[in-house]
Structure 1
Amino acid sequence: MALKTIALVETIWNGHHPTYFKVLAKTLLELGYNVLAFCPAPEEVNQWINQKCSNLADQFYSFELNDPPLNRLALGKLRKTWAAIQRWRNAGEAIERSYIKIGYYPDLVFFACIDYYLAFCVTHWLVDRIFHYNWSGLYFQPNHLRLKLPFYPLRRGPFNPSATLKSARCHFVAVLDEGIAQQLQKRINNPVVIFPDFCDESPADANYYLLQEIRKKAGNRKIIGLLGYLQRRKGIMTLIEVAKKSLEEDWFFVFAGELDPAGFTPQDFSTLNDFINQTPSNCFFSFNYIPDESKFNSLVNVCDILFAAYEYYPHSSNILTKAALFKKPVIVSKNFCMAERVEKFALGLSIESGDVSACISALNLLLNKIGDFKELNRCEEFTVLHSQKQVTNQFKFLLEEGRR
């Protein structure tokens, strides 16, 4: 009996997106599916698949697919609408081109980040005319189910943020936030499943040069880390203020990962650069891309506390999974998904977003009671719930059961 075929689609290639994409591809291959991978870096994914599961490489095909260029003629929401429509078209055309090469179509298309395919006035009727394949997707940031959006009562019909997900061709929608799954399912009348916010569990690279530099400069001080794709919303300005006010403390702050300048105001970016240029004795900065997950994990492992008090960010983040995997306390912002998990599994503390004094108090509390944290936390339970094995279990159930 011929293997069924799943197409994976992803056009965003920064932060956690490449890791998610590769792990999803490997999971589907191991479940016995042919996998067509459409992404900006097909050769990179090919090499990764050959390293991780070379025995399944003959079931794997990769094709280049990039995000559409910015339409400078469209303004405001219309620019996002145009981009979303073009993404649907590009995906469909890429699948047609792949058919010419391999001779068959996918049974299901899975969008590794469906968020960028949803926009103002992009209805399921419109998408069904553009995209002619059965599909599903992982919905990372359903803002409207956690935040009060302006004029929300008027956001119905073509203005509904979830309108696309009502398509009859949509077999299921995966979400990372267990707190909004039922709400979303009621709104779209299609199955919604909770996916684990998994991470790459590669052993920490003990030889990573950055790790050696951090250890040398930190000495015996406690290390607080802000790691990954560093954006303004990740609270970097808050942690800088904490560092400024903590020069007398036995603490060392690590800022490591690619810096995205786009979200900063000119004043904030100037403040950030001025602080870096002062070479503060209690800080370490490395704004380069962290090349692989074993090196990222080495940075997580060297920290005593992870800072993840993101600004008005209501969604899931797999930094919690990294923290639980390496049994590191984490500081997050109150009120949303991450705070709910931190409280439920005793993973650390939550503070009001941007509250410098509260952050300092939380650091003092966690560092002074690190023994209590190690005794009371439920890191292992959380790690199991958000493991790659759970991804396999969810996919196996959904793809074998079909539509419920």
Structure 2
Amino acid sequence: MRIVPAEEFDLKRESDYGTPEQNEAVKEIVRNVRREGDAALLRYTEQFDNTKLTASGLRVQHSELMAAYDEVEESFVTAIRSAAERIRSYHQKQKRSSWMDVQPDGSILGQIIRPLQRVGVYVPGGKAAYPSSVLMNVIPAQVAGVPEIVMVTPPATGGTEGINPYILVAAAEAGVTEIYRVGGAQAIAALAYGTASIAPVDKICGPGNIYVALAKREVYGAVNIDSIAGPSEIVVLADDSAEAAYAAADLLSQAEHDEMASAVLVTTSPALAKAVSAEVERQLELLPRRDIARASVDSYGAAIVARSMDEAISIVNKLAPEHLEIMTEDPMGILGRIENAGAIFLGPYSSEPVGDYFAGPNHIIPTNGTARFSSPVDLDDFIKKSSMIYYSKEALLRDGETIMELARREGLEGHARAIEIRLEQESQTGGNSK
């Protein structure tokens, strides 16, 4: 891992909008699925996943869900149930209610909160299977009250129709009963526009590769999306009290995700930077996914040496990382100075995987610097809000002239007259109209 003085570190990020060829390929896939429906889904599934299906074979049957339990360890079932309980408990605390505020004049103002009706969850199946992402997408939607949750995930490559059994068990434990074996941009298009087999949804959430991300951007507007996620990121902010082996292990926990993942140490200690860099090299050799982690560390990894903690914190806020670990003598004392981070892990025992799998907060977190203005997935992603206005006669008589003044200053006479006709009617009847 390269060691870089803070003044030489380049904060520029690569664009995550794909190549022109990738964008055009996604546009074509979306157009064809919208036009041809299931026929395009089946064609692309055979082309990209080496799996030949019929329309009737797209949906995963209940018997397949139950059979998946025979293919996983009982310890995994116990673990996924424990994680689901933690995630559900955390998200329950985010619930909000509709409200109304009755004014002295009889007017009532309020906000009505309702769940979305149908949500599509994308679960990737490429370089690794992520049953934890099933829980992180599905459970908040359930807690929010979404009645229909549909999951799509690619069939296994190599000509088999099978889906990773750990994903299926996680889906069953989360309560998902509508699952389709389709992935990639074609799955996103199906969720957005519908086919004969898959009804359209109101929102699509869940991570995926660049083609999935570009397809979500392409269909946004027809449906809502959670975000356009980039490669995973971690920043470890540390002083000389940090344990080098812990910091290195946590950096590699994200580097192993993807060759484009970013793993960065920001420290005030040159000695720690050298120790962590050496630990990264040592631990890399022990990882089964060391080739992926090596590419990530070489291209997007760095140990940044800051001249002060103020400078280190400034760098962190500019990076706005997906995951931030604070390994300092007083992490709570620094917490209030962190302005931009998706998830913040405090102290030596709050390793990033604690949040990925078990603690309870959602692990679907803004990437690529978007933590400057966006947040992790939570219940707000699965609700919609309606403003409610009941204006009394007394209030309209009091405020009508003001409303007309504002409307006419905008050149909208029709708006003003909609108020004026009521004021005139009340004036003619002496305020006795109903």
The TM-score normalised by the length of structure 1 is 0.29
The structure, 1 or 2, with the larger RCO (C-alpha pairs under 8 Å, 6+ apart) is 2
- Whichever of the two has the greater Rg, that structure is 2
